[in-house]
Amino acid sequence: MSEKVFPQGFLWGGATAANQFEGAWNEGGRGPATSDTAVAVSPEDRKKIEEFAAPMNREKVLFALEDQEGLYPKRWGSDFYHRYKEDIALYAEMGFKTFRLSIAWSRIFPNGDDAEPNEEGLAFYDAVFDELLKYGIEPLVTLSHYETPIGIALNYDGWKNRKVIDLFVKYAETVFTRYKDKVKYWLTFNEINVMGISGYVGGALLFEDGKQNLSDMYQAAHHQFVASALATKIAHEINPENKVGMMLARMESYAATTNPLDVMEAIQAEHENLFFSDVQVRGKYPAYTNRMFKENNIEIQMADGDEDILATYPVDFMSFSYYMTAISRHNPAENGEYTAGNFSLSEPNPYLEASDWGWQIDPVGLRVTLNKLYDRYQVPLFIVENGLGAFDTLEEDGSIHDPYRIDYLQAHIQQMHEAIEDGVELMGYTPWGCTDLVSASTSEMSKRYGFVYVDADDQGNGSYDRYRKDSFFWYKDVIGSNGANI
Ligand code: BGP
């Protein structure tokens, strides 16, 4: 294989989120978060994506908070809260340049609207950032990764309430100030477009009638756009070196055929997906908004000054998750066959294989996406999630042989390199779940992404000891050669 050259300073690393990784759900003064309840609604049927995205009402949330059984194993995550030193040492061993984590908002403001932040929560992240910096690893911090304080859902009805903008801005300002000398790279909302699919997961919205309401969801998204823009403003004021990114669950969708109607269908899918980055990167609602809103009966309220805020404080860079691609067809396939994906279903693509969870594996699609996004926005891009969820086997000697994961990542990194050669400005790459953690969609541990194995099962039982997988040594070599050895 020919030698690949990645840019100097390319940010190789890995990604996690507090709600799936930290555990310690009731320690350190942390308040309950929406993530503690999101999948507890239907513990017997967690695999169904519909359940994960299901509308939530007050009753279900209160039930889930009481029903501690339903919270396994999310409660424990992977116990990063107590093992962060060991985990970070493993990242240093792999040569990570960056590590993506989220701050659990409810560790800082346990009820969401507390007058003062919780010092114990702030001190925890100080310790984590210090540990990372000790090894020269740059923290990349998500402010909101599906873990809104539950008080914001129960007392404010979530992000559809404009007051939540102020609560978020106060939280953002608190952590920007506290970690001014420790953190430079920030992401505001993880997969902000999930709001268009699940109001509860994305915006802590409760739907008393059990139906998702698109107007509420897009209203909530509008409030997140304004909050993100204000946070970007404040981040730059506090430290001009701060770089703030938006984060999209990228869904490349190919036209099923050359039928122009299928092509148009793919463009519409593109609009639904890129609406969120169009607003946050370009600083204004795109031209197709009016028609999209009208045809979907979406009505949102904007306050005076909102458009100025969006236009004046766009993000510095665009980040996204990339796991698979989908297919768009004007007339859905007759057999109605579909395969699962990250928050979406798709007709299967005959050219692609899929993971054990049906997510279609498409490395070339990553090059397609990188090119499209860079052509569209001309801002630096950052792949902050990618990877293969797979079952792993811990051997008696403590090894884990995961060639399937190496194949997946290698193929994607090769396409990243192609995209860089195409002229795309790519800041870095943080594969998802670098240490095994609890799956967002299934709430199980057995859907593993990591380079590091965590000894815990789907019920949260286990030693939680860490083991290096074969992919650990492989990734170490990739980073050590700055991508030349792929
Ligand atoms: C993204 C989320 C992550 C993560 C990932 C993998 O949507 O940002 O939190 O979980 O998907 O998904 P899953 O855990 O369902 O396999």
What does the block give as tokens for 400?
């884990």
Q: What is the pLDDT of residue 446?
A: 94
Ligand 1 lined by 200 (C-beta under 6 Å) = no
Q: What is the CATH number of the domain that holds 81?
A: 3.20.20.80
Ligand 1 centre distance from Cα of residue 197 (Å): 14
Q: Which atom of ligand 1 is nearest to the CA of 438?
A: 14
Residue 485 forms part of a structural domain: no
Q: Is the peptide bond before 380 cis (omega within 30 degrees of 0)?
A: no
Residue 471 forms part of a structural domain: yes
Mutate to test the pocket of ligand 1, among 19, 436, 441 (most ligand atoms within 8 A of CB): 441
Give the count of domains, the chain. Answer: 1
**Minimum CA distance residue for ligand 1 atom 14:** 439
Residue 305 forms part of a structural domain: yes
Q: What is the pLDDT of residue 208?
A: 82
Cα first-last separation, the chain: 7
Contact 160, 223 (CB under 8 A): yes
Ligand 1 lined by 191 (C-beta under 6 Å) = yes
Contact 434, 13 (CB under 8 A): yes
Q: What is the pLDDT of residue 42?
A: 43
Q: Which atom of ligand 1 is nearest to the CA of 249?
A: 7
Residue-wise burial string across 94-124, b where 16 or more C-beta atoms lie within 10 A, e elsewhere: bbbbbbbbbbbbbbbbbbbbbeebbeebbeb
Residue 1 forms part of a structural domain: no
Q: Which atom of ligand 1 is nearest to the CA of 19?
A: 9
Q: What is the pLDDT of residue 60?
A: 80
Residue-wise burial string across 368-390, b where 16 or more C-beta atoms lie within 10 A, e elsewhere: bbbeebbeebebbbbbbbbbbbb
Mutate to test the pocket of ligand 1, among 321, 359, 384 (most ligand atoms within 8 A of CB): 321
Ligand 1 centre distance from Cα of residue 299 (Å): 29
Q: What is the pLDDT of residue 334?
A: 66
Task: Please say if 116 is a catalytic residue.
Answer: no
Residue 2 forms part of a structural domain: no
Q: What is the pLDDT of residue 449?
A: 98
Q: What is the pLDDT of residue 386?
A: 98
Cβ neighbours, 10 Å, residue 461: 13
Q: Which of 51, 252, 347, 385 is catalytic?
A: 385
Name the residue range of residue 379's domain: 11-480
**Minimum CA distance residue for ligand 1 atom 3:** 440
Ligand 1 centre distance from Cα of residue 439 (Å): 6
Ligand 1 centre distance from Cα of residue 48 (Å): 14
Rounded to whole angstroms, how far apart are CA atoms 247 and 277? 8
Ligand 1 lined by 74 (C-beta under 6 Å) = no
What does the block give as tokens for 122?
């702030």
Residue 6 forms part of a structural domain: no
Q: What is the pLDDT of residue 64?
A: 79
Q: What is the pLDDT of residue 337?
A: 79
pTM: 0.96
Residue 320 forms part of a structural domain: yes
pLDDT tens for the chain, 486 residues: list them. 456 789 999 999 999 999 999 999 999 999 999 998 866 444 454 444 445 455 678 888 887 788 777 677 778 899 999 999 999 999 999 999 999 999 999 999 999 999 999 999 999 999 999 999 999 999 999 999 999 999 999 999 999 999 999 999 999 999 999 999 999 999 999 999 998 888 888 999 998 887 889 999 999 999 999 999 999 999 999 999 999 999 999 999 999 999 999 999 999 999 999 999 999 999 999 999 999 999 999 999 999 999 999 999 999 999 999 999 999 999 876 667 777 777 778 889 999 999 998 999 999 999 999 999 999 999 999 999 999 999 999 999 999 999 999 999 999 999 999 999 999 999 999 999 999 999 988 888 999 999 999 999 988 899 999 999 999 999 999 999 999 988
Residue 137 forms part of a structural domain: yes
Q: What is the pLDDT of residue 204?
A: 93
**Minimum CA distance residue for ligand 1 atom 4:** 440
ipTM of predicted complex: 0.98
